[in-house]
Amino acid sequence: MTFADLGLSDQLLRAVEAAGYTEPTPIQAQAIPQVHMMKDLIAVAQTGTGKTASFVLPMIDILSHGRRRARMPRSLILEPTRELAMQVAENFEKYGKNHDLKLALLIGGVQMGDQVKALDEGVDVLIATPGRLMDLFERGKILLTGCELLVIDEADRMLDMGFIPDIEFICEKLPGTRQTLLFSATMPGPIKKLADRFLSNPKYIEVARPATANVNITQFKVPVTTRRKRDTLRQLLRSEDVQTGIIFANRKTTVRELNKSLRRDGFASGEIHGDMDQPSRMAELDLFKRGKINLLVASDVAARGLDIKGVSHVFNFDTPWHPDDYVHRIGRTGRAGAKGRAFTFVADEDAEAIANVEKLTGMQIPVYALEDAEAIPAIDQEIAAPKQRVERTAPAEQSRRSEPRGRRLREDEPRRADLREDRPARPLEEREPRRREYPVEPPSAPGEWNGPVPGFLAVSAL
């Protein structure tokens, strides 16, 4: 199949060719015709499958007809993080270069002035994180009544970050006749309910997880003690041919300290995590993308979905607490047909997490035998085994209650909700409780999804 078979316009075909794509990925082959036909869509697909182009390309064709109006965006794309929002904007610019479309990026952490000005001038595409969008909406700077196309991207990530009430609120403000596309790596119950409530007779598409199916990524787990993690990392960085590598850690303090120590040792490294302001995050990413630094120490919240060409290695300094994050982390390498290597450090404290990863991915990750593991001197012990610091003030019991998956949190593990960065800090009591109607059991099998099922249960969203 070719892109021309999908009915894209000539201008788009030229842009796709310039991007170097010769044939559509499975998600693109399935989704593009549906979007063109103005159908609602549920697509179960992860980053790395080419899913961004699967909605951006047909949207450009759809939006090329029509006129923009001040403060009334014609389409809206919701993204869970600022980095993902920026990435989608870059995709729009790349594929839309032969079209006269205006886009505005509404993300937290940057000045609102320019964003408001762009809205005032009229935009075809608004790409936003829910928090900043809600903020501008509540200030009366934006009207959603002219928005005929909505994309909810990374819906399960939105759920993890506590954005679902905001998304419901936003959906209610859009015209009922709009077209809605929902993308999610997994389909947990609350996302099915969201889809049932806000999508109309959607087409259901599911494509394979790229990481589990991606034979281009060679995966290893590295048994190590907590004390030796830093030395083991240094050893691997020297013995492996690391052109560019991302080193993931579970805690922001680990990210900061690890980067500091790598720099002290002469490595060209940078850091990215949720405590940094947006300009610093963008600056670090830029250095990494331009090859000024070749190692990026990252937390999950800042790094999910990042599409950086030529990442040869991923190191999981800690095994991620949530197995989905493993798939996302290692998916930063082995992209676009390139080969990649992923090393996951497993200390005693990581044992449960790695078991969950292997269960999710359905594979036993081979053990990487380090030469002379015992001979590596354990220097910098203080940072290798950081003192347990409690970074949040919420009582542990309260944190456990709000954990979405019903799993007990470790003492030092942040709540998923604490990882949110883009929601405005609004006290809970300012939010009006809204009663929701949810279906009891939405269908879950792949194939055509024929809308809501009977049998409704009234629950309160907040």
Which residue lies nearer to ligand AMP by CB, 105 or 134? 105
Which residue lies nearer to ligand AMP by CB, 149 or 311? 311
Backbone phi and psi for residue 407, each to the nearest 5 degrees, phi listed first: -95, 145
Of 17-25, 60-68, 277-285, 429-437, which part binds ligand AMP (CB under 6 A)?
17-25
CB of 247 to ligand AMP, least distance (A): 21
Binding of residue 220 to ligand AMP (CB under 6 A): no
| Residue of this chain nearest to ligand AMP (CB atom) | 52
Identity of residue 86: M
Q: How far apart are CA 44 and CA 381, in angstroms?
A: 43
Q: Which of 194, 200, 127, 142 is nearest to 173 (CA)?
A: 142
Which residue lies nearer to ligand AMP by CB, 207 or 301? 207
Which residue lies nearer to ligand AMP by CB, 49 or 250? 49
Residue ranges in 291-310 that form contacts with ligand AMP under rule CB under 6 A: 307
Of 42-50, 119-127, 137-145, 285-293, which part binds ligand AMP (CB under 6 A)?
42-50
Backbone phi and psi for residue 50, each to the nearest 5 degrees, phi listed first: 85, 25
Residue ranges in 417-446 that form contacts with ligand AMP under rule CB under 6 A: none
Number of residues this chain uses to bind ligand AMP (CB under 6 A): 14
Residue ranges in 333-392 that form contacts with ligand AMP under rule CB under 6 A: 335-336
Identity of residue 275: D
Which residue lies nearer to ligand AMP by CB, 47 or 219? 47
Counting every residue written for the chain, the total comes to 462
Of 21-29, 184-192, 405-413, 433-441, which part binds ligand AMP (CB under 6 A)?
21-29
With beta carbons less than 8 A apart as the criterion, state whether 247 and 315 touch: yes
Q: How far apart are CA 359 and CA 19, in angstroms?
A: 37
CB of 147 to ligand AMP, least distance (A): 22
CB of 161 to ligand AMP, least distance (A): 18
CB of 329 to ligand AMP, least distance (A): 14
What number of other Cβ atoms are within 10 A of residue 239's Cβ? 10
Q: Applying CB under 6 A, which of residues 48, 96, 414, 442 lies at the interface with ligand AMP?
A: 48
Binding of residue 21 to ligand AMP (CB under 6 A): yes
Q: How far apart are CA 197 and CA 452, in angstroms?
A: 7
Q: Residue 412, exposed/middle/buried by CB under 10 A (0-12, 13-18, 19+)? A: middle
CB of 208 to ligand AMP, least distance (A): 13
With beta carbons less than 8 A apart as the criterion, state whether 327 and 212 touch: yes
Report the interhelical angle of 351-361 vs 323-330 (nearest 10°). 70
Q: Applying CB under 6 A, which of residues 34, 44, 50, 262 lies at the interface with ligand AMP?
A: 50
- The phi-psi region of residue 18 (left if phi > 0; otherwise alpha if psi is between -120 and 50; otherwise beta) is alpha
Binding of residue 252 to ligand AMP (CB under 6 A): no
CB of 3 to ligand AMP, least distance (A): 8
In the three-class reduction of DSSP (H, G, I as helix; E, B as strand; rest coil), residue 416 is classed as helix
Q: Encode 304-334: b = buried (16+ Cβ within 10 Å), e = exposed.
A: bbbbbeebbbbbbbbbbbbbbbbbbbbbbbb
Of 18-26, 127-135, 174-182, 245-253, which part binds ligand AMP (CB under 6 A)?
18-26
Binding of residue 49 to ligand AMP (CB under 6 A): yes
Binding of residue 47 to ligand AMP (CB under 6 A): yes
Which residues lie near ligand AMP (CB under 6 A)?
Answer: 21, 24-25, 28, 47-53, 307, 335-336
